[in-house]
């Protein structure tokens, strides 16, 4: 028989270790993407050309180059100039910053969608710029963009196998080493697919819930 059940079951604990790393990298990467994306979106709104132009250029650069290349640079090239990152740190930064350039666009659209009158009312009640952002604009801008952000986090999750390129023992890397060691590919690779599918389906289910919860705002 092509499929060996006892072999499949025996590799579950090792694959599970990989699943944990995959989920950890996705969660940390999502946090970086959420925070850095907001920073990019805010800096791009700066009235100072010295701030907004370089940030816009860097964002385009990170979005326009492959994530795999960025991961190689972070992990294999940076040590040449004295910056050595652990694989997970390099991976989280790579995933997070790459996806931040996408989430920044989500933030930009969300912020633009807040009515101009809200800015004016904030000024009329004499809020400072930072109070206006934290109390008036972001609380209205963020809820409608949560489904779009979550969508990117799910996309990021499915790109985590790239982290195997910089020695992170995430799910794909674990499966590959099992396969290489045992010369059996069908069970490990099938199970990687199943793991990703199950977690993606759960995430999509969660996303639908978020859309229902935050889809309508301002009403």
Interface residues toward other proteins, by CB under 8 A? 115, 117-118, 120-121, 123-129, 131, 135-136, 139-140, 218-219
Output 107 or 153, the one with its CB closest to other proteins: 107
Q: State how far the Cα of 29 lies from the Cα of 21, in Å rounded to an integer.
A: 12
In the complex, minimum distance from the CB of residue 73 to other proteins, in angstroms, rounded to a whole number: 40
In the complex, minimum distance from the CB of residue 112 to other proteins, in angstroms, rounded to a whole number: 17
In the complex, minimum distance from the CB of residue 143 to other proteins, in angstroms, rounded to a whole number: 8
Q: State how far the Cα of 93 lies from the Cα of 71, in Å rounded to an integer.
A: 9
In the complex, minimum distance from the CB of residue 47 to other proteins, in angstroms, rounded to a whole number: 12
Output 13 or 117, the one with its CB closest to other proteins: 117
Output 84 or 134, the one with its CB closest to other proteins: 134
In the complex, minimum distance from the CB of residue 44 to other proteins, in angstroms, rounded to a whole number: 21
Q: State how far the Cα of 23 lies from the Cα of 27, in Å rounded to an integer.
A: 6
Output 129 or 186, the one with its CB closest to other proteins: 129
């Amino acid at each position: 028989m092509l499929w060996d059940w006892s072999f499949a079951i025996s590799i579950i604990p090792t694959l599970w270790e990989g699943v944990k790393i995959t989920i950890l990298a996705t969660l940390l990467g999502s946090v970086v993407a959420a925070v850095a994306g907001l920073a990019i979106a805010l800096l791009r709104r700066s009235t100072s050309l010295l701030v907004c132009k370089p940030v816009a250029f860097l964002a385009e650069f990170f979005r326009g180059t492959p994530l795999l290349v960025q991961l190689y640079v972070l992990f294999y090239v940076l040590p040449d100039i004295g910056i050595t990152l652990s694989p997970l740190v390099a991976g989280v930064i790579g995933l997070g910053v790459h996806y931040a350039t996408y989430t920044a666009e989500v933030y930009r659209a969300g912020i633009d969608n807040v009515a101009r009158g809200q800015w004016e009312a904030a000024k009329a009640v004499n809020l400072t710029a930072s109070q206006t952002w934290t109390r008036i604009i972001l609380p209205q801008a963020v809820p409608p963009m949560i489904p779009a952000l979550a969508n990117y986090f799910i996309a990021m999750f499915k790109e985590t196998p790239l982290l195997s390129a910089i020695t992170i023992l995430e799910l794909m890397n674990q499966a590959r080493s099992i396969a290489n060691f045992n010369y059996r590919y069908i069970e490990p690779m099938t199970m990687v697919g199943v793991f990703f599918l199950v977690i993606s389906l759960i995430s999509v289910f969660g996303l639908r819930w978020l859309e229902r919860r935050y889809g309508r705002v301002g009403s």
